[in-house]
Amino acid sequence: MVYAYTAEQIRAAEKPLLDAQSSTDELMKSAAHAVFEAAEAMLAWPDPLADLRQNRKTLLLVGKGGNGGDALYAGAELALAGHTVDAWLAWGSAHEPALEAFRNAGGNVLTDVPEDLPEYRFAIDGLTGLGGAGGLDEQTGQVIQGLADWYAHVLAVDVPSGIDADTGETGEFHVTADATVTFGGWRVAHGLAPECGIQLLADPHLADGQSISDNLSPFDAAAMLHRAVPGDHQWPDSLTPLTATNVPSMEPRFHDDKYSGGVVGIRAGSDTFPGAAILTAAGAVHASPSMVRYAGPQADEVVRALPEVVVTRKLEDVVRVQAWVFGPGTGTDSTARSELAYLLGREEPLLIDADGLTLISLDPELRELLRGRAAQTVLTPHDGEFVRLRNAEGISPADRLAETRALAESLNCIVLRKGRSTIISNSRHESEGSVIDAGTSWAATPGSGDVLSGITGAHLAGAAARWGNDAFLLDTQPVVIHAVASALAAQTEFGMAPARALAIAQAVPAATAKLHQFSGLPAASTQR
């Protein structure tokens, strides 16, 4: 697993190494070399404005602290490697030994705001340090925007400036990086802030072999991080990109049949939203080798689109399921409310989405039924739905990770909070929760959430069939599969383009197989 730590924990891990240094800035120079290696890799990327730039320079954005020193030492290595490098001291001063090394290597120091921004094809952000919080000043923000306007690639040191390392929250003016290189251990922001770009981890060390990671314990981690689509760039072996580490196998076991692998029941759709039933069922069908049952008014439409699904019109007629999905397109009338109350009273794990979440936020009695369930319940709100649930429970607004944990605790459930960065928090598990960066935003299309509900419901049913209703039933697998499927669905022979939700559902089998490729595992499992 991949663990993330707070800024305070990283500082504590660095301190023994700083105290043990045998030469000036030994640890900083080791970190800076990792920045240099990442920069060299990025400088090989195509420059979309190569024909318009005369000098194709590199700009260092330098603050007063350690990250500014990292940028300057890395800039010195770039200058010695033959690159033209300018350093802008944004606030007039910088780490002196690093500044001297940069000058001695042939780097050019700017004390005034850089004016020829079109000439910079690449920039290194070393403005603020690990503990930076709040946005940047307007002048600095204008420089950053100018670089973006001229398509300069940006590498951030540690965390993009203007982004809180512990929460991922952004100020009005902040850096949006193409890649971020960090040291020793991941920060929480690397999962929560897409502005980090491609996340890279290095492990600076001293001459005697001591490294920052030696002083970090997974038992103290603030969260677990994953990235669904890691990107296709090549990086030096010393840099580890953030990837998805939890790779599923949906291959049936030797003696499995259509029932034993986990049957999922779905109540979705209405006369107003008939497509929600088809999309939710399609997500489940493509995610699971086992049976999918549908109960609702769109029974005819569902079986016409998906003949594999066993359909009925009434919940009470459904037998032998290991998990339920309720809510996409069901409406919020009294019938839907009664159906949700019925499912909350059953013993199987239950996923609630969309209209089901609206009912939960509006009805205190339903929330009490939810709170008192013995079986696991999964809520899958997007940010807007989350706010309504949070307010209904009287939870004070906080950063995205903290308030998600608070809602899971308050409702005694699992909260899967959807977004480019998805958060999973389980009130019944000791872990601080998981954060999954999708790696792309192609899933942001109507109906995509219905597909995710179907995928997740199928995985819940599979886990319950194998390990029982009381097992820890939900991990990152459905979210990662959905994100990869969205990226695959968006691929065309000419490049990436928007894909409809049904195409995402149809790409789920390919995504499941591809995840094995990401992890280095064979597409076919040998586990029985």
Domain CATH code at residue 389: 3.40.1190.20
pLDDT at 62: 98
Determine, yes or no, domain membership for 336. yes
Beta-carbon count within 10 A of 220 CB: 13
**Same domain flag for 281 and 167:** no
Gap between the Cα atoms of 270 and 298, Å rounded:
7
**Same domain flag for 115 and 226:** yes
Determine, yes or no, domain membership for 9. yes
pLDDT at 52: 87
Query: pLDDT class for 524, splitting at 50, 70, 90?
Result: very low
pLDDT at 471: 59
Count of domains for the chain = 2
Determine, yes or no, domain membership for 90. yes
Mean pLDDT, the chain, integer: 93
Is the CB of residue 39 less than 8 Å from the CB of residue 70? no
Which residue, 221, 179, 230, is CA-closest to 519?
230
**With 90 as the cut, is the pLDDT of residue 129 above it?**
no
Domain CATH code at residue 135: 3.40.50.10260
Which residue, 123, 127, 112, is CA-closest to 39?
123
Domain boundary among 206, 241, 276: 241
**Same domain flag for 101 and 189:** yes
Determine, yes or no, domain membership for 526. no
Domain boundary among 207, 241, 275: 241
> The pTM is what?
0.94
**Same domain flag for 268 and 224:** no
Determine, yes or no, domain membership for 527. no
pLDDT at 514: 86
Query: pLDDT class for 526, splitting at 50, 70, 90?
Result: very low
pLDDT at 210: 94
**Same domain flag for 236 and 286:** no
Which residue, 1, 4, 121, 104, is CA-closest to 56?
121
Higher local confidence (pLDDT), 430 or 468: 468
Record the tokens describing residue 3, joined without a space.
């663990």
**With 70 as the cut, is the pLDDT of residue 251 above it?**
yes
pLDDT at 519: 52
Per cent of the chain over pLDDT 70 is 94
Task: Give residue for tokens 């209405």.
Answer: 270
Determine, yes or no, domain membership for 514. yes
Sign of CA dihedral 176, 181, 186, 187: negative
Q: What is the DSSP string of 454-500?
A: HHHHHHHHHHHHHH-TTS----SHHHHHHHHHHHHHTEETTEE----
**Same domain flag for 345 and 493:** yes
Gap between the Cα atoms of 380 and 207, Å rounded:
48
**With 90 as the cut, is the pLDDT of residue 260 above it?**
no
**Same domain flag for 271 and 227:** no
Query: pLDDT class for 523, splitting at 50, 70, 90?
Result: very low
307-345 per-position pLDDT tens digit:
999 999 999 999 889 999 999 999 999 999 999 999 999
H/E element, 149: helix 138-149
Query: pLDDT class for 285, splitting at 50, 70, 90?
Result: very high
C-alpha triplet 404, 405, 411: angle, nearest 5°: 90
pLDDT at 248: 57
**With 70 as the cut, is the pLDDT of residue 26 above it?**
yes
pLDDT at 151: 95
Residue partners of 358: CB distance under 8 A and separation at least 6: 332, 385, 388
Determine, yes or no, domain membership for 254. no
**Same domain flag for 339 and 199:** no
Q: Which residue segment(s) compose the domain that 19 sits in?
A: 3-241
**Same domain flag for 356 and 311:** yes
pLDDT at 259: 77
Is the CB of residue 197 less than 8 Å from the CB of residue 124? no
Determine, yes or no, domain membership for 249. no
Query: pLDDT class for 435, splitting at 50, 70, 90?
Result: very high
Query: pLDDT class for 488, splitting at 50, 70, 90?
Result: very high
**Same domain flag for 229 and 151:** yes
**Same domain flag for 295 and 418:** yes
Record the tokens describing residue 219, joined without a space.
């038992």
**With 80 as the cut, is the pLDDT of residue 85 above it?**
yes
**With 90 as the cut, is the pLDDT of residue 427 above it?**
no
Query: pLDDT class for 244, splitting at 50, 70, 90?
Result: confident
150-177 per-position pLDDT tens digit:
999 999 999 999 999 999 999 999 999 9
**Same domain flag for 92 and 177:** yes
